[in-house]
Copies of this chain bind each other. A is one copy, B any other.
Amino acid sequence: MDIEQFRKAGYQAVDRICEYYYTLQNRSVIPKVEPGYLKNYIPPCAPEAGEDFQLIADDYQNFILPGLTHWQHPSFFAYFPTACTFEGMIGDLYSSSACNPGFNWSSSPACTELEVTMMDWAAQLLGLSPVFLNSSAIGGGVIQTSASDSALLVVVAARSLYQRNHAEAKLEDLVIYTSTQTHSLGVKAGLVLGLQVRAINVKLEDEFSLRGDTLKAALKEDAKLGKRPFILIATVGTTSSGAIDNLPEIQEVAREHPDLWVHIDAAWAGVALSCPENRGKLYLRETNDFADSFCTNFHKWGLVNFDFSALWVRDRSNLVDALEVTPVFLRSKQDDSGMAIDYRNWHLGLGRRFRSLKLWFVLRSFGAEGFRKHIRRAIELNNLFAGLISESKILSLVTPSSFALSVFRLVPAGVQDDLSLEALNELNRSLFGRLSARQDIMLTQTNLNGIFCIRLVVGAVRTDEQHVRNAYDVVAEEAEGVLQAWHQTTATPSD
């Protein structure tokens, strides 16, 4: 493809993306395809001769688009939506056009420099302490792929620091602390590194928040066993229910355990810190006071196209000390001078894409006020949904709604006390089965200490009041269907 052919194909791609967004809400959220569908349309090996790009572009429309789950659909309420923006797309396009694996300053100065500044913009937007800014020259921020990558990286840094301070420590005795509600990133870090993970129990009555006393008891117990907990992954806004670990209590405990690195995983909820009214509930002060690292994903609720996991550390030397390995062929005079950050020592791989461009485009185009408006709007819409659930006679919230997330289940009025947890779970699995069979809406399930629940998360840019009301109507209608079927099954012949 030459330059003029690119111009033509590029215009067409832009036009087709416009068309995609104009028609998005008429599409089904979930594609009507079965595993293996694509084999019918794509040959098993590459063509020998080159093909016309128009044919290729058409095949994307005909075979790929119909097989995508539309995360940007206004009725996508599953997982955590990725709030992707046109600004982000243009950022990705420019980034791809000047394609380079900017692993250090000299391999592409603008890539490092814009990332340095954008991570400071983002930190200030969220109200993070100046100690986390790159301009502090002590702490600093860096883009990772996902919150799992961010957590894995800080576990590595924390382990390396712990080993430097305790040369006698065996890897077999090290323990990663999480709660039972921590995202799978905790267990996965343990699997990757071959280290033990202890998931500390959290309770429904605490709204699944990790408490100081429970942490303290675990530390005491493990100390007796000769185990060495070296990092706690605390969560601000868990995936299952949006629970927030009790950072003030954890801070008290951590004070007496200076070897325990505390990482705050605020993958989803962290961007809500942009609005001052959320900062108390999200324990910003405590994060600023004592967290060793903090992560939030701008690619979830934060308007930046996947991927953009933002990670900050209080002391950058802990990353570099753990990971620095600079062979001769990667050296340059600027990097050696220490005048520039070498981001290759701030992540696990080597090459990295130019992702800061997306955040720059988004934050300038929306402005801080536009960013906050987007966050507040999602919270309002979720409050609307949570309110409808609360008013319902057959549905109820399992935990208080959390920012843009509601966790609910079917609980038929009047019969709650008569039904076992398992029977209620069965009804709710049935409800979720009905919802999953639909293609016009997408929600996900979860399990909270044995309670089968359904999650709804607002966050896609195009979601509006009508979509949230419709979501409630769909849920209520399917719930009625489940109840009718249940009444028929449980009805005695004499009824």
A93 & B99 in contact (Cβ 8 Å cutoff): no
Q: Which residue of B lies closest to A328 (CB)?
A: B447
Q: Which residue of B lies closest to A321 (CB)?
A: B191
Best-buried of A44, A113, A353 by chain B (most CB within 10 Å): A113
Query: Is there a chain B Cβ closer than 8 Å to A225's Cβ?
Result: no
A305 & B193 in contact (Cβ 8 Å cutoff): no
- Residue in B107, B145, B191, B323 whose CB lies within 8 Å of A188: B323
B69 & A445 in contact (Cβ 8 Å cutoff): no
Give CA–CA (A27, B365) in the complex, Å. 29
B327 & A17 in contact (Cβ 8 Å cutoff): no
Closest Cβ of chain B to A182, distance in Å, is: 10
Q: Which residue of B lies closest to A14 (CB)?
A: B10
Give CA–CA (A367, B1) in the complex, Å. 12
Q: Which residue of B lies closest to A446 (CB)?
A: B329
Total A residues in contact with B, Cβ cutoff 8 Å:
152
Give CA–CA (A445, B106) in the complex, Å. 13
Flag A1-20 by CB within 8 Å of B: 1 or 0 each: 10111110111011101101
Query: Is there a chain B Cβ closer than 8 Å to A226's Cβ?
Result: no
B370 & A94 in contact (Cβ 8 Å cutoff): no
Give CA–CA (A188, B225) in the complex, Å. 32
Given known contacts A50-B365, A87-B53, A99-B305, is B22 in contact with A17 (CB within 8 Å)? Answer: no
A22 & B46 in contact (Cβ 8 Å cutoff): no
Flag A106-143 by CB within 8 Å of B: 1 or 0 each: 11111101100100110011000000000100000000
B42 & A70 in contact (Cβ 8 Å cutoff): no
Flag A47-76 by CB within 8 Å of B: 1 or 0 each: 111110101110010011111111110000
